[in-house]
Amino acid sequence: MAKGDPGGTTRGRRAAPRSKKGAAGNQELVQLLTPDGERIDSATGPDGTEYRVDFTDEEYRGLYRDLVLVRKLDAEATALQRQGELGLWASLLGQEAAQVGSGRALRTQDMAFPTYREHGVLYCRGIDPIMPLGLFRGVDQGGWDPNEFKFNMYTIVIGAQTLHATGYAMGITMDGKVGTDDGEAAIAYFGDGATSQGDVNEAFVWASVFNAPLVFFCQNNQYAISEPLERQTRVPLYQRAAGFGFPGVRVDGNDVLASYAVTRTALDNARHGQGPSLIEAYTYRMGAHTTSDDPTRYRIASEVESWQAKDPIARVKAFLEKQQIADAAFFAEVDEQARRESVHLRERVLSMPNPEPVTMFDNVYPNGSPLLDEQRAQFNRYMESFEGSAH
């Protein structure tokens, strides 16, 4: 099949299941660090844009530290759920580079709109990693101030945040905050499955025609729960952008350097008034969709193993070692920090106070509403009905 060919020309052929390669072959993958830890000086995107990074040794070590910490904290959260301390957890395992790379590419003034899996971006925004655990423990509704950290609340409704981000980005333009180096931009995170949602396609249209300063950051982790990528698309996802009138690029989402470079460029283009773009971070969900899911029911072990060889952290470690940017003492110190922070996280989760149930009505609207008052009163009557009973 020719490159860029949506695949097949007859109805009969279109109906046939297509190989994964046809839907998502690795054409035009922007990569700056190979799975073996070799640095590539620069990489060219499909529109000729040249991507490169120029980090100091300290910054390289900092990225490695971020990757290890977010993986460890994520593993701790999964363990806490398994022990009944969280209701649910959506692990980022395997997606650390896409999240840390893009998260570190954000400038202070940029606004991020996450799904429920963006714990790595949250970490990069300087939010205490305890925050999403309160949400998944069911003791609060997120807890951080989106305006303070420029990181919106987690969104579980698939794709909805792309519309919120589009509206926000249109607002940036209306406020006259695009066109300069210190202009603002927004970034919307979503998954491969979300690209089939009406909301996401509507967001593409609005962002495009209003030239909104927005980066659509799709983490293509190959699955939407149990549905593989080939059930979402017959063209590589980044190529969809062309149909909406803005650029699209596919980056190696397991490469923290390339993820950083493409996101930084896309955000800077947006803040300078060049409108939206789509980044497809080509990655893999190494774990289950959430702790309620059993991926062994729908994917084979050899597929997971093939992605283990592309591990986002192992390649940075290999690079740091080869270039002698970090030594054994550094790696041991990072591991020790990760261990300490995860123990601290666990202790804090276990000591989280259970809120009074009626407080769930408190933050629905800033100034309340008569309907809410009615519901609160009804709920209070319901709770009182248990008094003195066996419950």
Ligand X SMILES: Cc1ncc(C[n+]2csc(CCOP(=O)(O)OP(=O)(O)O)c2C)c(N)n1
Q: Pick one of ligand X, Mg ion, none as the site partner of residue 205 (Cβ within 5 to 8 A by kind).
A: none
- Which of 94, 191, 236, 247 contacts Mg ion by CB under 5 A? 191
Q: Pick one of Mg ion, ligand X, none as the site partner of residue 174 (Cβ within 5 to 8 A by kind).
A: none
Binding residues for ligand X, rule: CB under 6 A, are 115, 117, 156-158, 190-194, 221, 223-225, 285, 289
- Residue 156 beta carbon to ligand X: minimum distance, rounded to whole angstroms: 5
- Residue 221 beta carbon to ligand X: minimum distance, rounded to whole angstroms: 5
Q: Pick one of Mg ion, ligand X, none as the site partner of residue 158 (Cβ within 5 to 8 A by kind).
A: ligand X
- Which of 76, 192, 255, 280 contacts Mg ion by CB under 5 A? 192
- Residue 297 beta carbon to Mg ion: minimum distance, rounded to whole angstroms: 16
- Residue 71 beta carbon to ligand X: minimum distance, rounded to whole angstroms: 16
Which residue's CB is nearer to Mg ion, number 117 or number 346?
A: 117
The catalytic residue among 65, 117, 264, 285 is 285
Regarding 115 and contact with Mg ion (CB under 5 A), the answer is no
Regarding 28 and contact with Mg ion (CB under 5 A), the answer is no
Q: Pick one of Mg ion, ligand X, none as the site partner of residue 120 (Cβ within 5 to 8 A by kind).
A: none
- Residue 183 beta carbon to ligand X: minimum distance, rounded to whole angstroms: 29
Q: Pick one of Mg ion, ligand X, none as the site partner of residue 157 (Cβ within 5 to 8 A by kind).
A: ligand X
Which residue's CB is nearer to ligand X, number 91 or number 342?
A: 91
Is residue 298 annotated as part of the catalytic site, yes or no? yes
SS3 labels along the chain: CCCCCCCCCCHHHHHCCCCHHHHHCCCCEECCECCCCCECCCEECCCCCEECCCCCHHHHHHHHHHHHHHHHHHHHHHHHHHCCCCCCCCCCCCCHHHHHHHHHHCCCCCEEECCCCCHHHHHHCCCCCHHHHHHHHCCCCCCCCHHHHCECCCCCCCCHHHHHHHHHHHHHHHCCCCCCCCCCCEEEEEECHHHHCHHHHHHHHHHHHCCCCEEEEEEECCEECCEEHHHCCCCCHHHHHHHHCCCEEEEECCCHHHHHHHHHHHHHHHHHHHCCEEEEEECCCCCCCCCCCCHHHCCCHHHHHHHHCCCHHHHHHHHHHHCCCCCHHHHHHHHHHHHHHHHHHHHHHHCCCCCCHHHHHCCCCCCCCHHHHHHHHHHHHHHHCCCCCCC
Regarding 199 and contact with Mg ion (CB under 5 A), the answer is no
Show the site string, 147-186: x = touches Mg ion by CB under 5 A, - = not: ----------------------------------------
The catalytic residue among 65, 289, 315, 346 is 289
Which residue's CB is nearer to Mg ion, number 106 or number 194?
A: 194
Q: Would you say 348 and 73 are in contact if contact means Cβ atoms under 8 Å apart?
A: no
Is residue 164 annotated as part of the catalytic site, yes or no? no
Among candidate residues 341, 232, 283, the one with its CA nearest the CA of residue 97: 283
Which amino acids are annotated catalytic?
285, 289, 298
Residues that bind Mg ion (CB under 5 A): 191-193, 221, 224
